[in-house]
Chain A
Amino acid sequence: MRESPPFHNLPQGILSKIRPLPDPSSAESFAIDGRGPKGVISVGSLQETAEFLKAASKANISVIPRGSGTKMGWGNPPRAADLMLDLSGLRGILEYNPENLTVTAECGLPLSELQEALATKGQFLPLDPSYFRSASLGGIVSCNAYGPKRLIYGTARDMVLGMRVALVDGSLVNFGGRCVKNVSGYDLCKLFIGSLGTLGIIGEMTFKVHPLPEQEAIQVASFREPTKALGLCQSLLHSALFPAALEILDPLLAGVWTQEMGIPHEEQDWLLLIGWAGFSEDVSRLIGEGKAAFSEHQAREDEVCESGRARKGWEILGHLTTYLKVSPEGFVLCRICLPLTQVGEGMARWKAEVLTPGVKPSLLVRAGCGILYGYLLEASRDEERTFHSLEKMRKWSMDRGGSLILEHAPLWLKERMDVWGAGGKEIALMSRLKHYFDPLGVLNGGRYLEGI
């Protein structure tokens, strides 16, 4: 890591707003992969954000944006982390138009606060990423984070209609708008979604919102054989029943979830959670269809959680990591994306590759989306094997057109293994884009792919 350039090159107006980190313990809580920052600057407006970015870029001071801090572990270790840009003060709802099903809000606003405002009009933003109690809109969109109900509602790219973004040259630019359809110019919202704050700061977003479903339910069943749970998921995926979510939990995660829910669970059983959402008579019928499917696939139905209890179930699942006993040096969470037809094989591979009991592996399968979340709770017990098995798993996934991304990993692992996995020739295009938007690479430099 390079030496920090001196802050005194920044204009006085900005310099005076930089807060030093008061003590070493707070430095640690703000650190990215154990690095920096040397100070924090909190902004109160998007205009101020743009002015700060311009000054920082001019002085070649690297900037790490932060909303609620739920995703600071994402990405490769930064090349430098001079200043943290605290966006949590930008938390306004700027325009809510329930009749148009659109809402415009600032990046620092926690998703949960937006949901409360939307619920007063019977609407919601159908994003349910991990840590949704505190995660901010800007962080969710920058990381393209999503949750179980991606299956039916899609991701941020299906919901973001417009953005206002601060660029490092100090300009504020608008992409898209407040209409549900818009082809006036390139769709740069798509470029910024999932760009991990490497191109600019997404200050405001306009979302397409949905009416709250009349009824929702989680139908819970236990399986001795995970392949049976997967088989059931596949039959539902090819029906016209359109489940909202299909989540398979391995025995360890199943134990945690059921304990928090107060549902009995047998130690070696896998769990399937089927999410339903829609009009009430439809959901009643769907639960009936689910019961029939359970008996056909030799599963034991544990419970049907409806309404508030369903919401509780999703909340626990969304915060599952917080219930796990993990060591900071040993916790790894990787996201493995596969074609739907390879999910079963992927589950078997995960077991074969990494199932040394010492590292405490675990698995959650977003079965309808072709996504496996592989957990290692104590990877530091066998660093060498962890690295090699994850590399092998990544190669296997990439050979099938998929990927393996480390969503969370200790520094020792990130130093040996790229978080994202190499891409193809399109990396050249991405680097060029980065170069145009952020020529000196001051924004989250190094945290994205291939040094971007």
Chain B
Amino acid sequence: MPFHPRVLRKLSQIVGGEGLLSRSADLQVYEYDASLEKGRPDAVVFPTSREQVIGLVRLAHQEKIPFVARGSGTNLSGGSIPPDGGLVIEFSRMNKILEIDLKNLRATVEPGLYNIELSNALAPYGYYYAPDPASQKVSTFGGNVGENAGGPHCLKYGVTTNHVLGLEVVLSDGEVVQLGGKVADHPGYDLVGVLVGSEGTLGLVTQIVVRIMKLPEAVKTFLAIYDSLEDAGESVSAIIAQGILPATLEMMDKTVIAAVEASLKAGYPLDAEAVLIIELDGLKDSMGRVSDQVIQICRKKGAREIKVAQTTEEREALWAGRRGAFGAIARVAPNYLVTDGTVPRNRLPEVLRKVAEIGEKYHLPIGNVLHAGDGNLHPLILFDERNPEEKQRVLQAGLEILEACAKVGGTISGEHGIGLEKIAAMPLVCGEDDLKALQYVKETFDPSHLSNPRKVLPLKDRLESGGAIQHEGKPPFS
């Protein structure tokens, strides 16, 4: 239902006329993200400051309008889709690096900043920000925090949550809280840890404090080429079992290689069944010996060839192929569904076999890109959504892949989030009691259920809040 003109007027007072979109044609662009979900907002606003965000959220709270935060819309689970209409708060105008504090190894950024821009700004000083989602050229810090984004280098350095130390959050009633900060060990519960990965359902982040790190002294990147997907998978386990923790262990299969070569020319061999991109980083002294060890392991496990990137350009080309893999696939088929199941790493080979079986069962081509070192699969199911029958098969196949992951002790999402897309699959990993505990968190932060509604938790009922809310947080027993 379109907003009342009075609401539109108020929105315009907060963000200015140029910061508001409400015409149908303009809104159409915001009804989708990188997932298959759709939902049209009633208005999109582009705040430029925390104060504007507070004003917007207060208004939404008064008028009981649901709101959804949005960065670049690279979300792969429908997290930035407004399923019930309402307000999309788009953060592209809050995209500044607020502070680079090299001496304290911290940086403070606004949520609309692109991930890559921080590392670009730090590079001249010899520092970087470690989490590097493949979408890092366009995905924003706010989105990365919301989804607890991973990336190739998270194998060694951890995901977003391991690098975010402080957040400024506007809660769904317009209150602002400062959580964590530059310093270690803030007293009290680790609410920063709870907020990261909460998919915008607990409030809106307006500032982010992150850890920055010194760039490693030496980096070596390899492309290991295999005639069997299984051999590539076994190499991954073998390297880790050897006590070597590479910075990255990424895998791509034949379907993805073909798509990447057709559009990006990364130098992957078209006749291979799988390639691994292995990157080691650290001190230069051990680099030679450890590289030799890795090469030997790959050979022993059946790699037919191992290429070492000799120059920065060669390294960049290998990575450009990996980072562009999803985009390249988009040129092969009109649509794809990417799933994000994660399994214990030693179960990868069997789960990959299962994925292939599921593809055959449903007559669907599936390409595989994997953060193999983390046990995180991204099977890409190719299809054409204009064929509704096919889309139905795709969704069923996707669900079966997630079931296969859950069955071996894995989970349904490693880094893309639950959003709208995987709500139905949540019971695979989350029982009634588990859900109740998660709901305690939702009710604590967003009792009015206005912040990104219907995401993450398959909720049936609201919880009775009891005395908690009326006491304004003061427990009755104190």
> Which residues from chain A sit less than 8 Å from chain B, CB to CB?
97-102, 122, 144, 154, 157-158, 165, 167, 171-175, 177-191, 193-195, 210-212, 214, 234, 237-242, 278-282, 284-286, 335, 337-341, 369-371, 400-403, 405, 420-421, 423-437, 439-441, 445-446, 448-452
Contacts and interface: CB of A to CB of B under 8 A. Distances in A.
Contact of B440 (A239, A338, A436, A449): A436
B437 A281 contact: no
A451 B189 contact: no
Contacts of B126: 240
A89 to B, nearest CB: 24
Given A185-B438, A190-B161, A282 B191 contact: no
A424 B180 CA distance: 11
B11 to A, nearest CB: 26
Contacts of A284: 285
B177 A157 contact: no
Interface in B144-202: 147-148, 150, 154-155, 158-159, 161-162, 175-179, 181-194, 196-198, 202
Contact of B415 (A181, A187, A445): A181
Given A180-B374, A437-B440, A440-B477, A240 B216 contact: yes
B184 to A, nearest CB: 5
Given A100-B344, A186-B438, A401-B182, A178 B190 contact: no
B73 interface: no
A99 B241 contact: yes
A430 B193 contact: no
Contacts of A240: 126, 214-217, 283
Contacts of A400: 183
Q: Which of B126, B176, B188, B417 has the most CB of A within 10 A?
A: B188
A179 B147 CA distance: 17
Q: Which of A185, A188, A401, A429 has the most CB of B within 10 A?
A: A185
B285 A279 contact: yes
A335 B161 CA distance: 24
A173 B475 contact: no
16 contacts: A154-B158, A171-B433, A171-B436, A179-B411, A180-B374, A183-B197, A185-B457, A211-B244, A239-B214, A240-B214, A370-B183, A431-B474, A433-B189, A436-B443, A449-B187, A452-B478
B177 A186 contact: no
Contacts of A371: 184-185
Contacts of A451: 475, 477-478
Interface string B201-243: 0100000000000111100000000000000000001001101
B104 A341 contact: yes
Given A183-B416, A278-B282, A427-B473, A212 B409 contact: no
A157 B190 contact: yes
Nearest to A420: B187
Counting from the closest, the 5 A-B pairs by CB-CB distance are A190-B193, A428-B473, A451-B478, A211-B243, A279-B286
B469 A432 contact: yes
A436 B444 contact: yes
A40 B179 CA distance: 37
Given A181-B154, A183-B147, A194-B190, A433 B440 contact: yes
Contacts of B345: 99-101, 180
Q: Which of A100, A423, A432, A452 has the most CB of B within 10 A?
A: A432
Nearest to B186: A403
B346 A97 contact: yes
B111 interface: no
A378 B477 CA distance: 35
B243 A212 contact: yes
Interface string B417-453: 1100010001001110111111011111100000000
Contacts of A214: 243
B448 to A, nearest CB: 14
Contacts of B337: none
Nearest to A423: B188
B72 interface: no
Given A173-B431, A193-B190, 14 more contacts: A100-B347, A174-B430, A178-B410, A183-B418, A184-B418, A185-B457, A190-B161, A240-B283, A278-B286, A282-B283, A403-B183, A431-B475, A432-B475, A435-B475
Contacts of B102: 238
B17 interface: no
Given A371-B184, A427-B473, A187 B193 contact: yes
Contacts of B418: 183-185
B243 A188 contact: no
A430 B189 contact: yes
B281 to A, nearest CB: 10
Contacts of B475: 431-432, 434-435, 441, 451-452
Given A191-B193, A436-B444, A405 B376 contact: no
Contacts of A98: 241
Given A403-B183, A435-B475, A238 B214 contact: yes
B183 A337 contact: yes
A376 B441 CA distance: 39
B361 interface: no
B175 to A, nearest CB: 7
Q: Which of B161, B189, B472 has the most CB of A within 10 A?
A: B189
